[in-house]
Structure 1
Amino acid sequence: MLALLRLLLLALFFLMLSVFGFLFCLLRPFDPNHVYRFSRLFAGMAPLMGIKIRIEGWEHLPKGNAVFIGNHQSTWDLFTACKAVRPGTVTVGKKSLVWIPFFGHIYWLSGNILIDRKNSARAKGTIDLTAKRIRNENLSVWLFPEGTRSYGRGLLPFKSGAFYTALAAGVPIVPICVSSLDNIRLNKWNNGEVLIRYLRPIETQGLDRKAARELTERCHQLMSDNLEQMNLLIQQKAEGKNQQGKQQKAE
C-alpha cells in the first residue's frame, strides 16, 4: 500500500513538473539556473520517499566554476544527488535522455549539454564545446565519469571525458560522493540517511592533457576511499539506532 501511494505521488509530481516546468522553461529557455531549480524540486521529494539527506564539505566548494564529478548509482540519484547541485551548474548527458517521457524536454530546455555516446569521433568536439561553455558562459558542469549506473556494484571504472574537460577549461575538479542507495525501498517507511560529501577541489591549471589519466585514477581512488568510509558511518549509525530502539522496548 505504501509503495503504491508513493508511486502515485511520484506520477503526480512528474506530471505537474512536466507541464509547469515546460511552460517555465519556455519563458527563459536554456537558462543554466533551471537545473539548480529543478534539482531542488526533485530533492524536495526525498522526505516523501522516507529519505533523509545530510551534506558535508560545504567549505570545499570553490568560488568559481568547476567540473563536478559524482558516483552514479540508480534512479534514486534524482532525489538524492540532486540536492548537491549548485547554481549555475548544468549536466552532461546522452542525447537519448530527450526521449524520456515528461523528463526529456525539460532536461533539454534547462540548458544541459547533450552528447552522442555512440559516435566516438565526436567525443573531442564535445569536450571542447563543454570547456568553451564553461569559460564563456560562466558555467560549471556535473558529470558521472562512470558513464552508467552502478546498481550496487560499487564504484565502476571512470571514463576520462570529465577530466579532459576540466583540463581544457582550466577549472578545478570537485568530486562529490553519495553514500549507498541500495537499501532504499518504496515499501519502507524509513529509508534512512543518505550522506553526500563534497571533497576538496583538485586544481588543473598548468596541467596538460597528459595529466588526464593520472587525474582519473586519483579521483577514482579518492572517491572509492571516501565512499567506503561514508557507508561504514551510515551503517554504524543505523545499527546504533536499532540497538537503542531495542533497549527502549525492553525497558
Structure 2
Amino acid sequence: MLYPLRVFLIILYFILVAAIGILICLIRPFHPDNTRWFGRIYSWGGAAILGIKIRRHNYDSLKNIGPCVYVVNHQDNFDLFVTGSVMPKRTVTIGKKNLRYLPFFGQLYWLSGNIFIDRKNSSNSKVTMSASTQALTTKNKSIWVFAEGTRNRGKNMLPFKKGAFKMAIEAGVPVVPICVSSYVSNMDLKRLRSVKAEIKVLPPIKTENLTIDDIETVIKECWDTMKTTIEQMDKETYAF
C-alpha cells in the first residue's frame, strides 16, 4: 500500500510545485536563484514523501567558491529530490532538450534560467556550451552538470562527457565534484524509510592556466576521485 501511495503523492507534488513555480517565475523570470529555490522545495517535500534520509557532507565549503562547474553523478530521475538539497546560489543546470516537453516542469525549468542542450546537434551544442562559458565568466553564475550524460541507475559510474570540463578550462573556473551515494540501487519504496542518501562535496579542481590539452587529465582526476569517494560512501552506508 505504501508504494502506490508514494507514487501518487510524488507525481502530485511534482506537478503542483511546477505549476506554482511557473507563476512565481513569471514574476521573476530567469532569476539566477530560481533553480536553487525550486531545487530545495522539490528536495524538501520529495525526500519526505519517498522516505529518503539525506545527509550532506562539506556543504558549507560551497559558500566561498564563486563561479565554477559542479560535476555530479547521475543515477535516476529521483536525483531531483536528492541533489536539489545542495543546489548552490546563482547556479543553473544543463539538461537534455526533451525536458522542455514535460508538462509544467519543462516550462519551470526554462523560466528558472536553466539551459537546454541538443547533443544530437553538434552546432547547437557548441552554441549552448559557448553561452554557458559566458555565464561563468561575465554573469557570475555557476553551472551544474551531470557529466555522465545519462542515468547510471545507481550502478557503476559512467565515463564523463568532455563538455563540462571544456567550459571550466575555457572560463578558468574550478571544477567542483559532488558525489552522491548509490541510493537508487538500495532504495525500497515499500519501507517507511526507503533509503539513506549521502552527498559529499569534494575540494575544487583548479583549472586556471590550463588549456584544452589538459582536459583528459582533469577528467581523469575528477572521475577517479568521485569513483573512490562514492565506493567508500556506499561501503559505509549500505554495509557491502
TM-score (norm 2): 0.94
Structure 1 stretches of at least 4 aligned residues deviating more than 4 Å after TM superposition: none
Corresponding residue of 1:5: 5
Corresponding residue of 1:216: 219
- Secondary structure of residue in 2 paired with 1:4: helix
Confirm whether residue 228 of structure 1 aligns to residue 205 of structure 2.
no
Count of aligned residue pairs for this structure pair: 237
Query: Distance in 2 between the 1:185 and 1:107 partners?
Result: 28
- Report if the CA contact (8 A) 2:67-2:142 is conserved: yes
Query: Distance in 2 between the 1:58 and 1:12 partners?
Result: 30
Q: 1:106-162: per-residue Cα shift (whole Å, max 9, x none)?
A: 001100011111112333332221110112211001001100000133100111100
- Report if the CA contact (8 A) 2:155-2:182 is conserved: no
Corresponding residue of 1:83: 85
Question: C-alpha displacement at 1:11, in angstroms?
Answer: 2.5
Percent identity (aligned): 42
Query: Distance in 2 between the 1:136 and 1:86 partners?
Result: 18
Query: Distance in 1 between the 2:71 and 2:5 partners?
Result: 33
Residues 209/98 of structure 1: CA separation in 2 closer, same or farther (3 Å cut):
same
TM-score (norm 1): 0.90
Query: Distance in 2 between the 1:126 and 1:217 partners?
Result: 24
RMSD: 1.4
- Report if the CA contact (8 A) 1:128-1:168 is conserved: no
Corresponding residue of 1:36: 36
Corresponding residue of 2:55: 54
Question: C-alpha displacement at 1:59, in angstroms?
Answer: 4.8
- Report if the CA contact (8 A) 2:182-2:234 is conserved: yes
What amino acid does structure 2 have at the position aligned with 1:102? F
Q: 1:168-226: per-residue Cα shift (whole Å, max 9, x none)?
A: 11111000000012122322211232100000001111111111111111111110000
Corresponding residue of 1:199: 202
Which structure has the larger Rg over C-alpha atoms? 1
Alignment equivalent of 1:110, drawn from 107, 112, 129? 112
Query: Distance in 2 between the 1:199 and 1:176 partners?
Result: 6
- Secondary structure of residue in 1 paired with 2:103: coil
- Secondary structure of residue in 1 paired with 2:186: coil
| Alignment gaps of 5+ in structure 1 | 240-251
Q: 1:56-97: per-residue Cα shift (whole Å, max 9, x none)?
A: 113542431110000000111011111111111100111111
Question: C-alpha displacement at 1:47, in angstroms?
Answer: 2.2
Query: Distance in 1 between the 2:212 and 2:61 partners?
Result: 25
Corresponding residue of 1:246: none
Query: Mean Cα displacement is larger for which, 52-61 or 19-28?
Result: 52-61
Corresponding residue of 1:247: none
What amino acid does structure 1 have at the position aligned with 2:213? K
- Report if the CA contact (8 A) 1:32-1:112 is conserved: no
